[in-house]
């Protein structure tokens, strides 16, 4: 019986993983750029050719993007670029309010001066950019660092999954100068509440931050066409 050489098997897995990651990154960027409109069917043969990958890593990329809420997969209708949904973002933010409040309260107990200095430096650098993509990356980094302080790995993991699921909505926020400015101001208030060890205030600020963002998103989503690609 012949046995595949370990290095060949590992190489094949690495190649496929790399292709999947590349396809995910490229297709995510295309969708978030608006180059492919919400509701547009994604013909896998065409997309695979465009991205220069085979069908297998593309299918895996589509599954990843479905988990991020950027793609909808239907057994009969295939892959479609997802349309922003008020119902979806409301549910995501409702769960975030619970989990992030838990992490925020715990962080007020455990944060150090070094943690506060790092968060303030992140915000100072963050506020200097006018580039939506750079701001979006900084926003993710700030929230991730804040909740790491709580030292609750499972809570942080669940928050990360929810924030990953809300990538489309954060991208919409990042595109708005007014939205970015408001979020930056709210982030600074959260850090000062953390510095004061004020658990009640940071919980209130976290919930207000998410609620204000949700209300802004609802106004934006309401103004978009109703077509969802499945009619």
pLDDT tens, residue order, the chain (231 aa): 443 444 444 444 445 568 899 999 899 889 888 888 888 899 989 999 999 888 889 999 999 999 888 898 887 778 999 888 899 899 999 999 999 999 999 999 999 999 999 999 999 998 889 999 999 999 999 999 999 999 999 999 999 999 988 888 998 999 999 999 999 999 999 999 999 999 999 999 999 999 999 999 998 887 665 434 333
Q: What is the pLDDT of residue 11?
A: 42
Q: Indicate whether 27 and 99 sit together in one domain.
A: no
Q: Indicate whether 108 and 205 sit together in one domain.
A: yes
Residue 96 belongs to some domain of the structure: yes
Residue 229 belongs to some domain of the structure: no
Q: Indicate whether 109 and 139 sit together in one domain.
A: yes
**Kindly report the CA angle at 61 between 8 and 3, in degrees rounded to 5?**
20
Nearest partner of 155 among 87, 163, 195, judged by Cα: 163
Decide which of 60, 81, 102 is a domain's last residue: 81
Q: What is the pLDDT of residue 139?
A: 94
Residue 196 belongs to some domain of the structure: yes
Q: Which domain holds residue 168?
A: 86-222
User: In CATH, what number is assigned to the domain containing residue 55?
Assistant: 1.10.10.10
Decide which of 81, 114, 148 is a domain's last residue: 81
pTM across the whole model = 0.78
Neighbours of 5 (CB within 10 A): 9
Q: Indicate whether 122 and 18 sit together in one domain.
A: no
Residue 90 belongs to some domain of the structure: yes
Q: Indicate whether 71 and 166 sit together in one domain.
A: no
Q: Indicate whether 28 and 136 sit together in one domain.
A: no
Torsion of CA 68, 103, 124, 165, to 10 degrees: 10
Residue 116 belongs to some domain of the structure: yes
Do residues 39 and 83 make contact, with C-beta atoms less than 8 angstroms apart? yes
Nearest partner of 71 among 121, 108, 30, judged by Cα: 30
Q: What is the pLDDT of residue 16?
A: 59
Residue 231 belongs to some domain of the structure: no
Do residues 29 and 137 make contact, with C-beta atoms less than 8 angstroms apart? no
Number of domains in the chain: 2
Decide which of 37, 52, 81 is a domain's last residue: 81
Q: Indicate whether 143 and 113 sit together in one domain.
A: yes
Q: Indicate whether 103 and 217 sit together in one domain.
A: yes
């Amino acid at each position: 019986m012949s046995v595949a050489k370990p290095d060949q098997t590992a190489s094949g897995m690495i190649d496929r993983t790399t292709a999947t990651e590349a396809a995910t990154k490229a297709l995510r960027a295309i969708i978030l750029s608006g180059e492919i409109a919400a509701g547009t069917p994604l013909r896998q043969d065409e997309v695979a050719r465009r991205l220069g990958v085979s069908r297998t890593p593309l299918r895996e990329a589509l599954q990843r993007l479905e988990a991020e809420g950027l793609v909808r997969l239907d057994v009969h209708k295939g892959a479609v670029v997802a349309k922003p949904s008020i119902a979806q973002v409301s549910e995501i933010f409702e769960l975030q309010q619970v989990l992030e409040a838990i992490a925020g309260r715990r962080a007020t107990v455990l944060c150090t001066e070094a943690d506060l200095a790092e968060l303030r430096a992140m915000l100072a650098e963050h506020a200097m950019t006018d580039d939506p993509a750079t701001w979006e990356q900084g926003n993710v980094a700030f929230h991730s660092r804040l909740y790491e302080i709580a030292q609750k790995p499972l809570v942080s993991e669940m928050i990360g999954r929810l924030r990953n699921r809300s990538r489309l909505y954060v991208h919409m926020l990042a595109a708005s100068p007014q939205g970015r400015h408001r979020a930056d101001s709210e982030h600074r208030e959260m850090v000062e509440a953390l510095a004061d060890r004020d658990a009640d205030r940071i919980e209130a600020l976290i919930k207000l931050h998410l609620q204000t963002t949700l209300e802004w998103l609802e106004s934006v989503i309401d103004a978009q066409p109703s077509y969802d690609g499945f009619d």
